[in-house]
């Protein structure tokens, strides 16, 4: 059986790499369309890829009987915070006058999430 800590490591690695890739999206000039496209594809893969690790993590932490509820609560927070975050990112772009500042903020969120998941233990 895989330990809970072993499930959090790939999530942290993926989110940390996503943070780096998203920061590269910010740095790459907008004229480099192919480079930006490849980086955006890679960032999407790295951000959504760890979801496959979240599902088996739930029964590890909560047991089989409560894992469905755990996944539901996690999804509720994920979509709720995403809904709150979008207007905040728009506000950040308005305040700074730079649309691409969203990539810096998203990168920072990925780095923070990568650190937080490392504390998830059984």
| Model confidence pLDDT, tens digit, residues 79-108 | 998 899 999 999 999 999 998 999 999 999
pLDDT at 42 over 70: yes
How far is the CA of 10 from the CAs of 35, 71, 81, in angstroms?
25, 18, 23
Handedness of CA 52, 55, 59, 60 (dihedral sign): positive
Q: Are 120 and 8 in contact (CB under 8 A)?
A: yes
* More confidently predicted of 61 and 106: 106
Q: What is the pLDDT of residue 59?
A: 85
Estimate to the nearest angstrom the gap between the alpha carbon of 55 and the chain centroid. 15
Q: Where does the pLDDT of residue 31 fall: very low under 50, low under 70, confident under 90, or very high at 90 and above?
A: very high
């Amino acid at each position: 059986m895989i330990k809970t800590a072993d499930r959090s490591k790939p999530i942290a690695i993926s989110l940390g790499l996503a943070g780096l890739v998203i920061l590269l999206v910010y740095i790459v000039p907008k004229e480099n369309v192919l480079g930006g496209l490849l980086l955006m594809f890679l960032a999407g893969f790295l951000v959504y890829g760890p979801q496959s690790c979240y599902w088996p993590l739930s029964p590890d932490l909560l047991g089989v009987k409560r894992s469905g509820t755990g996944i539901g609560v996690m999804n509720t927070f994920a979509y709720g915070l995403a809904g709150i975050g979008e207007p905040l990112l728009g506000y950040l772009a308005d305040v700074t006058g730079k649309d691409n500042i969203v990539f810096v903020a998203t990168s920072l969120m990925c780095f923070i999430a990568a650190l937080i998941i490392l504390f998830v233990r059984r």
